[in-house]
Copies of this chain bind each other. A is one copy, B any other.
Amino acid sequence: MKGEHFLVAFAFCILASSFASAYDPSPLQDFCVAINDTKSAGLNIPRNTGNQVGSNVTLLNVDQIAGLNTLGISLARIDYAPNGGLNPPHVHPRATEILLVLEGTLSVGFVTSNPDNRLIEKVLNPGDVFVIPLGLIHFQLNVAKTNAVAVAALSSQNPGVITIANAVFGSNPPINLDVLTKAFQLGKNEVKNLQKQFGGNNK
């Protein structure tokens, strides 16, 4: 039943966007919703941070936000475990980010592009905000003994996330050993160990 409604709504959205153009610098209708949202987004509920890095990112997708389609913005909640919960170095290939700390104390940073690779870093307390420019490598580290929570807004409806260590050492299939040993100036065994830890097993 739900699927049926989806199909109808979906057909309408294709109709709307098939007449659209990348040249028009605005959405081409008020909004384009597939199914009406009834589930709560639940961004107030603490997430489980009992994993290797001690953090948990909840990115809201189109099933949870009515009207998200075609509008170029999205939202995430991030939970950090006490004493070093880490949102590890990553990039968003298609979005700038604003981070707002709701609870706890975070050390946040991003690295500028070549040749400077300057680290811009700041300690944030509740109510502080920080902007991460489009496509730059950034991270957040919980530097206090309590949980931390932040909200991030991103300037795309599908910003994408690339966790550096996972993409480099855990890709599927794995990246050639010669690339990684030379790029990171590591021995073959060191790279193989890293690949094992990140799930990219080189034969």
Contacts and interface: CB of A to CB of B under 8 A. Distances in A.
A165 to B, nearest CB: 5
A131 B66 CA distance: 7
Given A44-B126, A114-B166, 18 more contacts: A17-B18, A20-B21, A20-B22, A28-B94, A28-B157, A29-B160, A30-B113, A30-B136, A65-B129, A65-B131, A75-B98, A86-B178, A94-B135, A111-B168, A113-B161, A119-B175, A135-B135, A153-B153
Contacts of A178: 84, 86, 141
Nearest to A197: B185
Q: For chain A, which range describes its interface: under 10, 10 to 19, 20 to 34, or 35 or more residues?
A: 35 or more
A interface majority secondary structure? loop
Nearest to A132: B67
A67 B130 CA distance: 8
